[in-house]
Amino acid sequence: AQSVTQPDIHITVSEGASLELRCNYSYGATPYLFWYVQSPGQGLQLLLKYFSGDTLVQGIKGFEAEFKRSQSSFNLRKPSVHWSDAAEYFCAVGAGAGGTSYGKLTFGQGTILTVHP
């Protein structure tokens, strides 16, 4: 079965500082990987996704993520954080065709980002 670990429950950064949110996954084949963001009391918005190809993926709002198969990681980065980036971030892994979990996403527990002015 697939699983996702986000080691950091809460991260605090200063506005303008760089950001890296960690995500490690467990899956037997090449996974589909996603990062979503959620503001309090709201639904989830997709930041970026990796299906195949270039392992460095660009997303919305200046975010990027890098798929590293050897480390089973898909860390999210942003070079300069804005106060509006404060939210909760979720990493998710999906199984491709043929897998027993086909079509289902498994989410990490989330990382809450606080931005200090």
Partner 1 sequence: DGGITQSPKYLFRKEGQNVTLSCEQNLNHDAMYWYRQDPGQGLRLIYYSQIVNDFQKGDIAEGYSVSREKKESFPLTVTSAQKNPTAFYLCASSISLGWGEQYFGPGTRLTVT
> Which residues face 12 on adjacent strands?
114
Q: Binders of partner 1: how many residues, by CB under 8 A?
A: 24
Q: Which stretch binds partner 1 (CB under 8 A): 23-31, 58-66, 71-79, 92-100?
A: 92-100
Q: Which stretch binds partner 1 (CB under 8 A): 11-19, 35-43, 53-61, 62-70?
A: 35-43
Which of 55, 109, 114, 116 lies at the binding interface for partner 1 (CB under 8 A)? 109
H or E element at residue 57: strand 56-58
Instruction: State yes or no: residue 30 binds partner 1 (CB under 8 A).
Output: no
C-beta separation of 115 from 10 below 8 A: no
- CB closer to partner 1 out of 87 and 95: 95
Scan residues 43-72 and list those touching partner 1 (CB under 8 A): 43-46, 49
- CB closer to partner 1 out of 81 and 91: 91
Question: How does strand 111-116 pair with strand 10-14?
Answer: parallel
- Report how far residue 37's alpha carbon sits from residue 97's, in angstroms, rounded to the nearest whole number: 26
Of 107, 102, 76, 74, whose CA–CA distance to 90 is shortest? 107
- Report how far residue 98's alpha carbon sits from residue 117's, in angstroms, rounded to the nearest whole number: 48
Residues forming the site for partner 1 (CB under 8 A): 4, 9, 34, 36, 41-46, 49, 90, 94-97, 102-105, 107-110
